[in-house]
Amino acid sequence: MKPGLRNLAVAVSAIAFASLQSFALDTKIFTFVGDRPMVTHTTCRAETCDLAIHLDNPFLNGKKVTRIRVLTDPKAQPMEDFKVWLSMSLNLEENEAGENVNAPDILSVSGTPDSEGWLDVTLPEPYTLTDKGVYAGYSFTITEYSGDGGKPIPYSQDRHPGGFWFHGTKSAIEWMDCEDQMNGVLPVYVYLEGEYPPVSVAVSGWDTEFPYVQIDREFSLPVKMMNLGSEPIREIAYRYTMQNSVGEGKVTLVNPIVPDIVDPTTLYLTFGALGGHTVRLDLREANGEANGSEFSGIDLPVECRTLVPVKRVLLEEGTGTWCSACPRGTAAIESLNSLYGTRVIAAAYHAGNDPMSTGARLPASFSYFPGAVLNRGDIIDPYYGDDQTLSQAFAIRPLVDEALDLPAEASVEVMSEWIDEAHDMLDVSAETAFPEGYSGKSYKMLFILTADGLKGPSPLWDQANGLGNWNQDSYDENMKAWAAKGNPIVGLEYDHVVLLANAAYEGVPLPDAMEPAETFLARGTFNLKKAVSVFERNKGESLVQDENKLSVIALLVDADGHVVNCAKAPVGESSLSAVDVFTSEECRLTSTEYYDISGRRLSSDVCGIQIRI
């Protein structure tokens, strides 16, 4: 479950988390708290503390705040003068003692926490939300700090912008946004009363800063939408108008969009090649019923270009059968491929005492395994990303999202064919073009040969697996599945295994300058007789087990060695035939139809759809 409350249930942690009372169907709870554990914090001072979250969702305009519930821990230190409050802005004013104190501009209501620490206040008069948002907060005074380790500020280790604002009369004399610093959000639950139709899906805009569209070609772009109703959304029908044409599409979701008034969901929707600079999008139906949201339609700008390359990212990992932590890298790659399909390309370099070790040069100097690089940037963890605490589950995903959201500097498409009848020599080639062209820059095209489905006899090919020994509460579902495979994992088939790879100095250099949309073809060869193990126990053994499971990756790198773009295709095929905007395990595009302005149906190939939550 994502951070935030999903419809009429609250996900809370074990520390003093009593069951919430039931409430009417026309009430939802806004909170940033999700499934992460609860921890506590102290300012080490006797002072007045003010804490708040920011509700800033335009779809909630007109909803009424009726109740605020907060988790405190008054047993940690002597505390008094508890209040909950609402304010349009975070204000401070100086009191008689010369201290900056909180000055909410809407309301402030006193209350008393119960025996389990819940401060639960029903407002004397409901407050109606506006498009300017509101801060919902609470305050208390620590009358005497005992220094015995008691920490009076509980917070969840979920993350969300606006989830942890703090002011202390002694420790923080100005309001501070502490979400990044504390790595968490406050346990504030705001009850919102209003009309919530069973089927209500709002759309807010593109989920990218670069809505580029190639002229005369279908396109897919990420659209942010939110389920404000009470039913999970399993199917969405949409209609769009662009210049003199219209189109319709219907999406069936394998994993439905759950009700959520905190975070939007992103769907990649497919649109026809219609030209123009604006798309009118209307989410007409959901679950086969008329969409009840007043925010179901929106005008979205696009920028038409002669060339819009497909953006892909390359995740390369260092791994080994001997490495008990390395299955988490495999779990991450599986999840990424199910979410992004061919737009995330993986390459696994097996090293050390591993039967698949070929001596291929690693893309980075990994000081630990599993180690990884995304587009040959900084060294990260293939599952936890750049989270050095290894506590943020699947933190590789936002890094991949960020990389995919940036427009591609150049296109890359790869193809290959056998040179000889024995299939020992492979000709590989990659075509590239730059939308803007360039001059005075240095680029190279490199190639990697990978294999899927590699397997061998036990115990030589067994995979060490320590996942079952760790805190499984932080795992996503795919990681939990790997944790259940036992230690070691016997009979495993290994995918994305690097057999041969160009070193940087072996790459094919591009010209010193290229015109916009000019193409360049880089060529190379692989000798598959060199794709053998260098591990002592199976040294010299060919790792080409099945020619039909070999693939070629082409990667375009700049002067700093960073990957500009990449492509992958099975041996003997071209990446141009791959479906880059794809049908993922999350959803299916069941139909897309195109019409001209007169209502005549047009024919067009459908690229597909992906979902990102």
Check residues 270 and 536 and name the one with the higher pLDDT: 536
The CA-to-CA distance between both ends of the chain, in Å, stands at 10
Bridge-partner residues for 235, per DSSP? 252
Identify the pLDDT of residue 55.
97
Q: Using CA atoms, how far apart are residues 542 and 531, in angstroms rounded to an integer?
A: 6
pLDDT over threshold 80, residue 438: yes
Average pLDDT in the chain: 88
Question: Would you say residue 8 has pLDDT above 70?
Answer: no
User: Residue 468: its pLDDT value, please?
Assistant: 78
Question: What pLDDT is stored for residue 597 in this prediction?
Answer: 40
**Is residue 585 over pLDDT 80?**
no
CA distances from 98 to 93, 102, 173, 501 (A): 9, 13, 11, 68
pLDDT (0 to 100) of residue 475: 78
Predicted pLDDT of residue 268:
84
Using pLDDT thresholds of 50, 70 and 90, give the confidence band for residue 35. Answer: confident
With bands split at pLDDT 50, 70 and 90, how would you rate the model's confidence at 578?
low
What's the rounded Cα separation, in Å, for the pair 229 and 26? 10
Structure tokens at 534: 């260098």
Taking the mean position of all CA atoms in its chain, how far away is CA 113?
Answer: 37
- pLDDT higher than 50, residue 39: yes
| Residue position matching structure tokens 């988790």 | 71
**If you average pLDDT over residues 61-84, what whole number do you get?**
94
* SS3 call for 478: helix
* Closest to 247 (Cα-Cα) out of 590, 600, 584, 581: 600
State the pTM of this model.
0.73
Confidence (pLDDT) at 105: 96
φ/ψ (deg, to 5) at 334: -60, -45
| pLDDT score for 370 | 96
Q: What is the pLDDT of residue 148?
A: 72
Cis preceding-peptide flag for 488 (omega within 30 of 0): yes
pLDDT reported for residue 254: 77
Mean pLDDT of 517-543: 97
Q: Confidence band (pLDDT; 50, 70, 90) for 376?
A: very high
Q: Is residue 577's pLDDT more than 60?
A: yes
- pLDDT band for position 542 (cuts 50, 70, 90): very high
CA 340/CA 472 separation, integer angstroms: 25
Q: Are 558 and 410 in contact (CB under 8 A)?
A: no
Amino acid 321: pLDDT: 98
d(CA 608, CA 590): 9
DSSP 322-356: T-TTTHHHHHHHHHHHHHHGGGEEEEEEE-SS-TT
Which of 424, 459, 426 is closest to 538 using CA atoms? 459
Question: What contacts 447, CB < 8 A, 6 or more positions away?
Answer: 414, 428, 430, 501, 502, 524, 526, 552, 553, 554, 555
Range in 90-104, 173-187, 246-260, 455-469 the model is least confident about: 246-260
Is residue 13 predicted with pLDDT exceeding 80?
A: no
Given a cut of 90, whether residue 579 has pLDDT beyond it is no
Higher pLDDT, 607 or 257: 257
Q: Tell me the pLDDT band of 275, cut-offs 50, 70 and 90.
A: low
**Average of per-residue pLDDT across 116-126:** 96
Residue 521 has pLDDT above 70, yes or no: yes
pLDDT range class, residue 150, cuts 50, 70, 90: confident
Q: How confident is the model at residue 560 (pLDDT cuts 50, 70, 90)?
A: very high
Average confidence (pLDDT) over 207-223: 87
Q: Using a pLDDT cut of 70, give the percent of the chain over it.
A: 88
pLDDT tens digits along 84-117: 999 999 999 999 888 899 999 999 999 999 999 9
Tokens of 72: 């405190």
Residue 471's pLDDT is 67
Band (pLDDT 50/70/90 cuts) for residue 613 is: very low
pLDDT tens track for 444-498? 999 999 999 999 999 999 999 998 777 676 777 788 889 999 999 999 999 999 9
Tokens matching residue 383: 């599952």
φ, ψ at 557 (rounded to 5°)? -115, 150
Select from 545, 535, 338, 361 the least CA-distant residue to 448: 361
